[in-house]
């Protein structure tokens, strides 16, 4: 983590002290399942299933109680979402990315998936989490191979999102060609 030009490896905070200092909604959000969006430059949502992470100052937080957190994570991290938002809000562009706002995410045209699609995407998201976690214990030679595995799963997620939004092959090509 980087904060005010200082780097922290595995920053840890006492939950008790944190909740004493922040008893409001900020403190409550730390303990619940959520998506944390860094909101600056690139659309990047990290999923916190167990409510273990404290969202930093320049982040957006999405919570849900209805079992769609993994699905929302998949859509927000998809190539389609980045393409859509960069096209809809070109004036928010900064260094090849976008400064994302709460309104941009709130106004994104999310489609409610069927239970079958939600389950499938949820499985892919869980695979990405498992395979990404393995990266932390690998040496440099193993990392590239493991990153290819994660990217392969992410491609499958993007395919499901394209199907969900009923994109044609031409639409998919346009989205794929305009990626970061």
> Are 55 and 27 in contact, with CB atoms under 8 Å apart?
no
Using only C-alpha atoms, the chain has a radius of gyration, in whole angstroms, of: 17
> Are 72 and 62 in contact, with CB atoms under 8 Å apart?
yes
Distance, in Å, from the CA atom of 81 to the CA atom of 79, rounded to the nearest integer, reads 6
Mean pLDDT: which of 17-31, 38-52, 103-117 is highest?
103-117
> Are 143 and 117 in contact, with CB atoms under 8 Å apart?
no
Mean pLDDT: which of 4-18, 30-44, 163-177 is highest?
163-177
* Range of the structural domain that residue 171 is part of: 2-177
Summarised one tens digit per residue, pLDDT across range 102-159 is 888 889 999 999 999 999 999 999 999 999 888 878 787 888 889 999 999 999 999 9
> Are 151 and 77 in contact, with CB atoms under 8 Å apart?
no
Compare 84 and 100 and report the one with higher pLDDT.
Answer: 84
Residue-level pLDDT at 97: 61
> Are 117 and 159 in contact, with CB atoms under 8 Å apart?
no
Residue 1 has pLDDT above 70, yes or no: no
Percentage of the residues of the chain whose pLDDT score is greater than 70: 89
Q: Quote the number of domains for the chain.
A: 1
Residue-level pLDDT at 94: 58
Comparing CA positions, the residue from 150, 31, 126 lying closest to residue 71 is 126
Residue 180 has pLDDT above 60, yes or no: no
């Amino acid at each position: 983590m980087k904060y005010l030009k200082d780097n922290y490896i595995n920053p840890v905070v006492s939950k008790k002290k944190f909740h004493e200092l922040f008893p409001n909604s900020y403190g409550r959000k730390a303990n619940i399942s959520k998506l944390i969006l860094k909101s600056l430059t690139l659309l990047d949502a990290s999923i916190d299933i167990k409510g273990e992470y404290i969202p930093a100052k320049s982040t957006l937080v999405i919570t849900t109680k209805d079992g769609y957190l993994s699905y929302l994570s998949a859509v927000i991290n998809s190539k389609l979402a980045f393409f859509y938002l960069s096209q809809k809000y070109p004036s928010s562009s900064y260094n090849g990315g976008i400064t994302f706002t709460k309104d941009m995410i709130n106004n994104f045209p999310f489609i409610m998936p069927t239970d079958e699609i939600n389950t499938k995407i949820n499985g892919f998201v869980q695979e990405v989490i498992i395979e990404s976690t393995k990266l932390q214990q690998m040496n440099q030679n193993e990392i590239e191979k493991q990153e290819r595995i994660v990217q392969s799963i992410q491609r499958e997620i993007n395919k499901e999102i394209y199907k969900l939004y009923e994109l044609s092959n031409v639409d998919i090509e346009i989205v794929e060609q305009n990626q970061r």
